Homo-oligomer: A and B are copies of this chain.
Amino acid sequence: MALDRPSGDERARREMKWWGWGDPDHRPQLSDHAVAFLRAEVGIADQLRRPVALEGVKLGEPALSGDVRGRLTAAVGEEHVRDDRRTRVVHAAGKSYPDLVRQRAGLCEGAPDAVVSPGSAEEVRAVLDAAADAGVAVVPFGGGTSVVGGVDPERGSFGALIALDLGRMDALIALDERSLTATFGPGIRGPEAEALLARRGLTLGHFPQSYEFASLGGYAATRSAGQASTGYGRFDELVLGLRCAAPAGELAAAADFPATAAGPSLREVLVGSEGTLGVITDLTLRVRPRPPERRFEGWFFRSFAEGADAFRELEQRRAAPDVARLSDEDETRSALAFAAGGGARDLVGRAYLRARGYAGGCLVVTGWDGSAEEIARRRAAGARILRRAGGLPVGRGPGAAWERSRFETPYLRDDMLERGVMVETLETATNWSNLLTLHGAVRGALHEALAARGTPPLVLCHVSHLYPSGASLYFTFMARQEAYHELDQWQAAKRAASDAIVATGGTITHHHAIGRDHVPWMRAETGPLGVDVLRAAKTAADPAGIMNPGKLLPDV
């Protein structure tokens, strides 16, 4: 059941650094300029703080009984049940800041007892049966890129835990070029899927920052949004149907129905279920003809408020670009500083900005996909609105710079950690009428919480997803790490920001999902009875509660 598959070479490129982000051979460093900027803004450590060696990582003995191990190897084959050190450590965490702090310190006591790699839905079923019978927790593992603890090995009340690595289920299973739909296995990575589609003149158009490593099943399980989602739609909007192996049986939302009025949407229950109901075994997605051209460019606004209002108008007048990104004043300042050190001194001419009254203003990046003619037509309509709303075009330089570096930021995080800088991101969304209030509230909460600990932060924010009724806000904050108290420090900042989000009418997460880190705010988000309803649904699908314990739903 495969039209096509990633190559062995592609598969070989999937494993990330166990202690950080991405390709182990790619280790970009902050420029001197950026280091100087960070030193001045938040302070950095005197000495580099390196991760421990793999051999130094603390790891418990595998806790699976021989019986269970036997059933698992019978289900998937001996070579697909692995418990060597590297494999267990790689699967011991996702890529959140607390994950990396723990991994770099070598704290992997909770690592999975084994990593099981099924090759088919039938093998997933056999693994779940064995795990349910034996009371073994199961963490579905796609690309392992969660930044909210979504793949952390939480055992709940169970004595053993396996990570279910879906990497072997990576086929392009079916393609309907007439209906523009493609069916994939859950474990295929973004670039692999794009490569298989590109050969057929198609694209998914989904490019989150985790793109190089995240899996399609993970996108669906977490309601991912990508950099071009303003144009292409969030990943949940691209999912037409999916199948899920749950401990109690199969859950499926048919992909053949472009729309239906048949009751509550089971698809919308499975999408976003974060492995707590079952394991996605295939998913059918909307695809599009590959755009022949792509054009990014920069604009400047005098203030975040002015830029946000321009974005609102773009979107409500159906003239939004495919990529739309507005940095606030601090993020713009920081981007200019980082770029200046990276050899792109003329990202935006400061003298020009000053002369035009845009000094201290806000950078916008827009991206348009399509034929040259479509781009010209859509861009003209968008540019008219941006200009009238106070925007100053600053050419293709900033757009090109953003495009070049758009998957690099997570790599630089590793260098920041090495220099003793805490760097974390969080995101929310709200109505247009509440956007600036929420922006101020989250910034304020982060500044206050971290200043109170003696580590005043730099807080950056951008708008990157537009909707008719509102938009997302994506925050990055940095502060000098409190050595030995990194997790407390992070917790204090996270709690302050999340409380502010919930109190100010934002969603606790726009596209990172709930995972483990957002569970304490799930009741505020969904209401106590809403949580009860979702938990009842989970119990029907997973009576023993083995699926991804501790994630998504608060305990009763």
Contact = CB atoms under 8 A, between A and B. Distances in A.
Interface of A: 176, 178-181, 222-225, 234, 240, 246, 248-254, 256-274, 277, 286, 288, 312, 316, 429-434, 465, 467-472, 505-514, 518, 522, 525-530, 532-537, 539-541, 552-553
A527 B508 CA distance: 32
A259 B472 contact: yes
Contacts of A472: 258-259
Contacts of A529: 246, 248-251, 540-541
Contacts of A265: 265, 268-269, 271-272
Contacts of A537: 264, 533-534, 536-537
B522 A263 contact: yes
A264 B272 contact: yes
| Most interface-central of A259, A267, A434 (chain B CB within 10 A) | A259
B469 A240 contact: yes
A262 B268 contact: no
A439 to B, nearest CB: 14
A541 B552 contact: no
Given A529-B251, A536-B539, A540-B536, A263 B274 contact: yes
Contact of A511 (B261, B267, B430, B506): B261
Contact of A431 (B179, B223, B470): B179
12 contacts: A181-B469, A248-B529, A252-B527, A256-B431, A258-B430, A260-B525, A261-B511, A261-B513, A262-B518, A263-B514, A263-B534, A264-B273
Given A259-B467, A272-B262, A509-B261, A251 B541 contact: no
B432 A178 contact: yes
A510 B261 contact: yes
A225 B261 contact: yes
A469 B257 CA distance: 8
A286 B469 contact: yes
Nearest to A509: B261
A-B residue pairs, 4 tightest by C-beta: A268-B268, A258-B470, A258-B467, A223-B261
A288 B315 CA distance: 12
A260 to B, nearest CB: 4
Given A265-B268, A267-B268, 9 more contacts: A176-B431, A234-B259, A250-B529, A257-B429, A259-B465, A261-B272, A262-B513, A264-B269, A265-B272
A212 B528 CA distance: 37
A316 B289 CA distance: 9
Contacts of A510: 259-261
A272 B256 CA distance: 19
A477 to B, nearest CB: 20
B468 A254 contact: no
Contacts of A514: 261-263
Given A180-B468, A529-B246, A262 B536 contact: no
A24 B84 CA distance: 78
A218 to B, nearest CB: 12
Contacts of A533: 251, 266, 269, 277, 537, 540-541
Contacts of A256: 430-431, 434, 470, 505-507
A526 B266 contact: yes
A415 to B, nearest CB: 28
A295 to B, nearest CB: 18
A500 to B, nearest CB: 14
**Residue of A254, A316, A539 with most chain B CB atoms under a 10 A cut-off:** A254
